[in-house]
Amino acid sequence: MRKKRKISNAEKLGSYPYDSNIKYGTITAIDYRNNGLAKCWLLDPPNNFIKINPSKYKLLTRLNFFREWISFIFPRSQISSALATRINSLHKINNPFELDNTQLINSNNEPFNIKRSTFFYRDLSWFNNKSRVIDEPIGGVVFQISKNRILFLGIREEIINLVIKQKFDLINNYKAETGNFFKTVNCVISKGRLKEFKIPENIELFSNPHKNYFSLRAYGNLNFTSGGVVWGVLSLIK
């Protein structure tokens, strides 16, 4: 903030030599792999060009964040498509809150069912055929990053139900529990993706109740974020 104030004062005096729009920071990440990609995120863009109501901006930003994660975990799914269509509609209308509490609908023009996993009825969850934290309604996908290490990327089940209901106050005010917790994850891998993994011989691979899927257990600390995203590097259980 001090740097921005200094620039603003210099602009007023006519002594700042650069374009006044250059008031942002960056975060850069460089993948350690030979074929990895470098990424750069822009922070604090100039706000004088933002011509949008703050509540609308916050709503669209949150919905886009949820859409990206849902699309990542459920690619080509109906809910991902429906959410993308809804966000596009919200962008086009002046007052997006006109659609407040208007639930998302599926391809049959019917509202999506609200699902909640319980200890006894896990098959009612959105996370059928997905890797899941065994004692919480959290699911996602896994990637092998070394011989005995698995990367888990997931979201809370309540996020999916939240975007289905489209109650904008709840979306704008959503804040999940944060922390770093030791968890066990039932890692579910499809038969098609199994060739991407090199499972050590001492790790037992189980046939999943759902056809063409396999599962194994992994454990480790997971990071719980306020946005409902859960991630961490896990060790395979021998």
Q: How far apart are CA 84 and CA 86, in angstroms?
A: 5
Contact 219, 149 (CB under 8 A): no
> Helix 157-165 to helix 54-73 angle, to the nearest 10 degrees?
130
Question: Does the pLDDT of residue 121 top 50, yes or no?
Answer: no
Predicted pLDDT at 78: 92
pLDDT in tens, 92-102: 888 999 999 99
Q: How far apart are CA 180 and CA 183, in angstroms?
A: 9
Q: DSSP letters along 2-29, please?
A: HHHHHHHHHHHTT---S-TT---EEEEE
Stretch (H or E) spanning 85:
helix 78-92
Percentage of the chain surpassing pLDDT 70?
A: 83
Distance of alpha carbon 222 from the chain centroid: 14
With bands split at pLDDT 50, 70 and 90, how would you rate the model's confidence at 235? very high
Predicted pLDDT at 158: 93
Q: How far apart are CA 188 and CA 129, in angstroms?
A: 6
pLDDT in tens, 11-58: 677 666 655 555 667 788 887 777 777 888 877 655 555 567 788 889
With bands split at pLDDT 50, 70 and 90, how would you rate the model's confidence at 193? confident
Determine which of 21-35, 65-79, 159-173 has the lowest per-residue pLDDT on average: 21-35
Q: Where are the beta strands (DSSP E) in the chain?
A: 25-30, 38-43, 131-133, 138-146, 149-156, 179-190, 206-207, 213-224, 229-236
Exposure of 2 by Cβ count < 10 A (0-12 exposed, 13-18 middle, 19+ buried)?
exposed
Contact 151, 231 (CB under 8 A): yes
Q: Amino acid letter at 127?
A: F
Exposure of 157 by Cβ count < 10 A (0-12 exposed, 13-18 middle, 19+ buried)?
buried
Exposure of 7 by Cβ count < 10 A (0-12 exposed, 13-18 middle, 19+ buried)?
middle
Determine which of 37-41, 52-56, 169-173, 205-209 has the lowest per-residue pLDDT on average: 205-209
With bands split at pLDDT 50, 70 and 90, how would you rate the model's confidence at 207? confident
57-66 mean pLDDT: 93
195-223 mean pLDDT: 83
Determine which of 73-77, 124-128, 194-198 has the lowest per-residue pLDDT on average: 124-128
Predicted pLDDT at 19: 53
Predicted pLDDT at 36: 74
